[in-house]
Amino acid sequence: MSTAEEKSQEVTVDQPDDTAPADSSQVSQDTEGASSGGGIVLAFLIGIAASLIVGWVIFPKLLYSRWEQPVDFNHALHVQEVDNGCASCHYFREDGTFSGIPKLANCLQCHEEPIGISKEEAHFYKTYVATRTEVPWHVYAQQPPCVFFSHAAHVRLGDMACATCHGDIGESKYLKPYQQNRISGYSRDIWGHNISGFTRHTWESMKMSDCADCHKKENVRQTSVQTNRGGCFVCHK
Domain segments of the chain: what residues?
17-66, 103-136, 139-235
Average of per-residue pLDDT values in the chain:
83
CA distance 100 to 92: 9
> Looking at the predicted structure, is the pLDDT value of residue 19 above 90?
no
pTM: 0.71
Which helix (H) or strand (E) covers residue 179, if one does?
strand 178-181
Burial tier of 185 (Cβ tally within 10 Å: 0-12, 13-18, 19+): exposed
> Looking at the predicted structure, is the pLDDT value of residue 11 above 50?
no
CA distances 26 to 13, 21, 39, 136, 225, Å, are: 22, 9, 20, 75, 78
> Looking at the predicted structure, is the pLDDT value of residue 3 above 90?
no
Residue 53's identity, in one-letter code, is I
Band of residue 44 on the pLDDT scale cut at 50, 70, 90: confident
Q: Residue 124: helix, strand or coil by DSSP?
A: helix
pLDDT tens track for 87-110:
999 999 988 899 999 999 999 999
Residue 21's identity, in one-letter code, is P
Which helix (H) or strand (E) covers residue 66, if one does?
strand 64-67
Question: Which of the 8 DSSP states describes residue 98?
Answer: B
Q: Give the number of other CB atoms < 10 A from CB of residue 59.
A: 12
Higher pLDDT among residues 27 and 121, named by residue: 121
CA distance 74 to 81: 11
On whether the CB atoms of residues 35 and 42 are closer than 8 A, the answer is: no
pLDDT tens track for 158-177:
899 999 999 999 999 999 99
